[in-house]
């Protein structure tokens, strides 16, 4: 019997809401962008997160990086609840978990040379780089991501897009992290450079055993790099499981629409109209359709004590003041 390995990172029932504009005369509502999101990242594996713009992918990444606090839910790293981290645990967490962002030019300090950018994580961790040993360590990082050491004296604006993103990856690897959260790291790059960065990420994982959370709109890249996948629609996980399992047998309508919208390298392919996905049902429940393959299905309506009498649980995309009433048709929400 195979023993289930403990996850490196685990999120349980994460929800997050942003306050809506208001005034002291008017009660402010909230916009819930994530609701009951659960996921796991295993050691040495890559979890892909996909979904359309506005589905909550970047907000989820910020919570996994402990840059934002969830409204509810728990995030555990190496088995420890992040809400109860001590100062020492927080420092170790930020050393073990690093990020690579979509636009390297905006995530790199334009006033710092590449050498200073790479040395910054060491300074934050209390590791002083000095003399020949320090220069050798920076040179190792540059070579690791395929950059010439002569570029250490350049500013980010003097580098190409691919070189800047490689520098950002080198900075993330400086502290030898266990997990890297990559929020659309190749979206702003040319296609040829995208392929180079994707191969680099895979090679680094093979060599160092680092885990990734990889966010992307490109399902082909997700299939190339990732072992597991989470599909987000309007802030909810509608399907999750092993990549090949989900790609070969997608169960949720939204996942099927995403796959049908993916371009294929076939000049004879006939393109049809890809319809807009239907809103999620008011009440949903997660069902395991195959071992490790979970799909969000319409559940049974139930009363929710947090809403006034005669109202049911509201889908998260509505303002909380606009709860779903009993006479709405077909059990679906409407837009406020």
Those residues with Cβ within 8 angstroms of residue 271's Cβ, 6 or more apart along the chain or in another chain: none
Mean pLDDT of 173-184: 93
**Torsion over CA of 199, 54, 59 and 49, rounded to 10 degrees?**
-40
What local confidence, expressed as pLDDT, does residue 320 receive?
A: 31
pLDDT classification of 151: cutoffs 50, 70, 90: very high
Quick one: CA dihedral 295, 301, 302, 304, positive or negative? positive
Residue 75 has pLDDT above 50, yes or no: yes
Angle between helices 191-208 and 161-173 (to 10 degrees): 20
pLDDT classification of 304: cutoffs 50, 70, 90: very low
Q: For the whole model, what pTM was predicted?
A: 0.80
Of residues 26 and 196, the one with the higher pLDDT is 196
Those residues with Cβ within 8 angstroms of residue 46's Cβ, 6 or more apart along the chain or in another chain: 205, 211, 212, 213, 214, 225, 226, 227, 228
Residue 178 has pLDDT above 90, yes or no: yes
Q: Which residues pair with 14 in a beta bridge?
A: 37
Contacts of range 280-288, beta carbons closer than 8 Å, 24 or more positions apart: 280/233, 280/234, 280/236, 280/238, 280/315, 280/332, 280/333, 281/331, 281/332, 282/312, 282/313, 282/314, 282/315, 282/324, 282/328, 282/331, 282/332, 282/333, 283/312, 283/313, 283/331, 284/236, 286/237
The residue written with tokens 């070189």 in the block is: 163
The pLDDT tens digits of the residues spanning 218-277 come to 899 999 999 999 999 989 999 999 999 999 999 999 999 898 887 766 666 555 555 667
What whole-number distance in Å separates Cα of residue 136 and Cα of residue 226? 32
How many other C-beta atoms lie within 10 A of the C-beta of residue 97? 22
Residue 148 has pLDDT above 90, yes or no: yes
What whole-number distance in Å separates Cα of residue 58 and Cα of residue 188? 16
pLDDT classification of 189: cutoffs 50, 70, 90: confident
Q: Which residues pair with 284 in a beta bridge?
A: 298
The residue written with tokens 């709405």 in the block is: 328
Mean pLDDT of 272-287: 69
Of residues 86 and 265, the one with the higher pLDDT is 86
CA-wise closest residue to 69 among 77, 59, 78 = 59
Residue 150 has pLDDT above 50, yes or no: yes
What whole-number distance in Å separates Cα of residue 35 and Cα of residue 15? 4
CATH number of the domain at 9-262+273-331, please?
Answer: 3.40.50.300
What local confidence, expressed as pLDDT, does residue 327 receive?
A: 34
């Amino acid at each position: 019997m195979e023993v289930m390995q403990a996850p490196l990172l685990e999120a349980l029932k994460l929800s997050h809401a942003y306050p809506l504009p208001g005034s002291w005369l008017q009660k402010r509502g909230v916009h819930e962008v994530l609701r009951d999101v659960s996921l796991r990242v295993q050691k040495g594996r890559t979890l892909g997160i996909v979904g359309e713009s506005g589905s909550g992918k970047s907000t989820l990444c910020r919570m996994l990086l402990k840059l934002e606090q969830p409204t509810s839910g728990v995030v555990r790293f190496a088995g420890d609840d992040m809400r109860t981290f001590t100062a020492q645990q927080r420092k170790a967490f930020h050393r073990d978990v690093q990020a690579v962002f979509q636009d390297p030019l905006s995530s790199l300090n334009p006033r710092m040379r590449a050498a200073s950018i790479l040395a910054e994580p060491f300074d934050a961790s209390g590791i002083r780089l000095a003399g020949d040993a320090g220069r050798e360590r920076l040179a190792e990082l540059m070579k690791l991501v395929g950059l010439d050491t002569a570029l250490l004296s350049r500013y980010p604006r003097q580098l190409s897009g691919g070189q800047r993103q490689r520098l950002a990856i080198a900075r993330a690897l400086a502290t030898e992290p266990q997990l890297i959260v990559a929020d659309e790291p190749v979206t702003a790059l040319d296609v040829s450079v995208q392929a180079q960065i994707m191969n680099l990420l895979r090679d680094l994982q093979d060599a160092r055993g680092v885990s990734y959370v990889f966010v992307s709109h490109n399902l082909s890249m997700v299939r190339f790099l990732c072992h597991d996948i989470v599909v987000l629609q309007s802030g909810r996980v509608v399907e999750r499981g092993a990549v090949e399992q989900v790609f070969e047998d997608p169960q949720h309508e939204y996942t099927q629409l995403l796959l049908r919208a993916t371009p294929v390298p076939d000049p004879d392919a006939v393109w049809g109209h890809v319809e807009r996905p239907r809103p999620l049902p008011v009440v949903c429940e997660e069902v395991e359709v195959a071992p490790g393959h979970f799909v969000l299905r319409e559940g049974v309506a139930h009363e929710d004590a947090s809403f006034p009498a005669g109202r049911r649980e509201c889908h998260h995309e509505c303002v909380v003041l606009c709860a779903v009433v009993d006479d709405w048709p077909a059990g679906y929400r409407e837009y406020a």
